[in-house]
Amino acid sequence: LFALHADRRRSVGSLTKIMTAVIIAESHGMDELVTIPKGIEKTSGSTMDLPPGAHFTIGDLLSALLIPSANDAAETLARFHSGSREAFVAEMNSRAQMLGLRNTSFANPSGLDDVSQWSTARDISRLASYALRSPEIRSRMSTPHMVIQSTEGEKFVLDHTHELLGKNGAVVAGKTGTTGDYRDAWFAG
């Protein structure tokens, strides 16, 4: 295989959510219920406008994380899992080391640009390869669109951010990551 600058550190954008998904999928049942926390509406970047106080399954929030790349789903899952964003980020970095991702550092669960958040193409490739072994992650990264619903009955349409997914068999599973930091767009999977 050809590689060019495979070990150059870059901002990774929403590809960060692959690590968030790994931790959640390996730690929780997909039917566990999560309450959307107060203040989540202040989440910046790509969001679904998840309503505080509403209840969703882990599986539905994992879908929101991986299909439309919702930052509010990432923050909700992180807080649910660890109690705080900081504790979740510490677990992300610990897990990265366990997976041998030596050129990766996380600062938040969603991928918003931060000087302490970066990775390399080689590490993201390793992470994506590992994550795609999980049926829960792989199925969501290969779903072009779906509908999720809160237990209160509010429906949300999810459309995948990867425009080539499912078209002519070009991409069978993936996750996009766009960042304004370097004006780079990444694709994993």
Taking only the tens place, the pLDDT of each residue in 17-61 is: 999 999 999 999 999 999 999 999 999 999 999 999 999 999 999
Q: CA 133, CA 151: separation in Å to the nearest integer? A: 29
Average pLDDT over residues 118-143: 93
Please calculate the CA angle 48-54-59 and round it to the nearest 5 degrees. Answer: 70
What does each C-alpha distance from 49 to 116, 121, 157 come to in angstroms?
27, 31, 12
Per the CB < 8 A criterion, the answer to whether 72 and 48 are in contact is: yes
pLDDT for position 8: 86
Under the banding of pLDDT at 50, 70 and 90, the label for residue 184 is very low
Per the CB < 8 A criterion, the answer to whether 187 and 18 are in contact is: no
Q: What would the DSSP string read from start to end of 92-141? A: HHHHHHHTT-TT-B-SSSS----TT-BB-HHHHHHHHHHHTTSHHHHHHH
Q: Which residue's entry shows tokens 């202040």?
A: 42
pLDDT for position 122: 93
Tally Cβ neighbours within 10 Å of residue 177.
Answer: 23
Per the CB < 8 A criterion, the answer to whether 85 and 161 are in contact is: no
Residues noted as catalytic: 14, 17, 69
Per the CB < 8 A criterion, the answer to whether 56 and 150 are in contact is: yes
Q: Does residue 188 register a pLDDT over 60?
A: no
Q: CB-hemisphere CA count at 13 Å for 16? A: 30
pLDDT for position 189: 46
Amino acid identity for residue 106 in this structure: F
